[in-house]
Amino acid sequence: MLLGYLIWSFVGSDTGLIRTAALQRETAALEKRKLELTSRAEAIEARRKEQSKDPLLEERVARERFHLVKKDEIVYRYQDDGVDSAR
């Protein structure tokens, strides 16, 4: 009976070999995912910094978001009447 308990405690318990191996595999998978997300975040940050230097992008955002226009410029806006064009 003592031998069975010792085997269970070293292999099958929450601190046993099986659980330890599973936790090590999970840790490795999470570290890999962390590296992927870190590299993706760095790429997005580099793209954001590159785009922030573009003056034409700032102008386009100002025109689209705030409906700004230059002097002597005519803007045509079309109102959507809410009719489904698929009918």
| Assigned domain for 78 exists | no
Average pLDDT over residues 33-41: 98
Residue 27 CB coordination number (10 Å): 10
Q: For residue 48, what are its two tokens?
A: 């954001």
Q: How many domains does the chain have?
A: 1
| Assigned domain for 36 exists | yes
Domain assignment of residue 55, given as a range? 10-66
Task: Tell whether pTM > 0.75.
Answer: no
| Assigned domain for 21 exists | yes
**78 vs 24: which has the higher pLDDT:** 24
State what percent of residues in the chain have pLDDT above 70: 93
Average confidence score pLDDT of the chain: 84
| Assigned domain for 74 exists | no
SS3 81: coil
DSSP state string for 10-54? IIISTTSHHHHHHHHHHHHHHHHHHHHHHHHHHHHHHHHHHHHT-
